[in-house]
Amino acid sequence: MAIYLNTRSRKDLIIHLMLVVGIILSLFLSFFFVYLPWSTNHGQSITVPDLRKANLEDVKATLSERKLDYIVSDCTFVPGVPPFTVLSQYPFPNSLVKEGRNIYLTVTMATAPMIRMPDLVSTNMGLRSALSLLRSVGLQEGNIRYIPDIAENAVLEQWYQGKKIEPGTQVPKGSKIELVVGNGIGNTELDVPNLIGVSLEEAEIIIKGSDLRMGTILYKQVPGAAPGTVVEQRPAPGIGTKINVGEIIDLWIAGKPDTDTGEGPTEPERN
| Angstrom distance (rounded) from CA 183 to CA 145 | 9
Residues of the domain holding 235: 189-254
Amino acid letter, 82: P
Q: What is the pLDDT of residues 198-249, one digit of tens each?
A: 999 999 999 999 889 899 999 999 999 999 999 999 999 988 899 998 889 9
On whether residue 68 sits in a domain, the answer given is: yes
Please tell me the least confidently modeled range out of 71-75, 149-153, 214-218, 252-256: 149-153
On whether residue 24 sits in a domain, the answer given is: no
| Angstrom distance (rounded) from CA 224 to CA 263 | 22
Strand arrangement, sheet containing 248-254? 213-220, 248-254, 230-234
| Angstrom distance (rounded) from CA 142 to CA 121 | 16
Predicted pLDDT of residue 32: 62
On whether residue 23 sits in a domain, the answer given is: no
| Residues 223 and 167 reside in one and the same domain | no
Q: Which one, of 152, 153, 227, 244, lies nearest residue 192 by Cα?
A: 244
Phi and psi at 227, nearest 5°, equal -55, 140
Total domains present in the chain: 3
Going by pLDDT thresholds of 50, 70 and 90, the confidence category of residue 131 is very high
- Kindly state the percentage of the chain with pLDDT values over 90: 59
| Angstrom distance (rounded) from CA 162 to CA 245 | 29
Q: Which one, of 87, 37, 32, lies nearest residue 59 by Cα?
A: 87
CATH of the domain at 159: 3.30.10.20
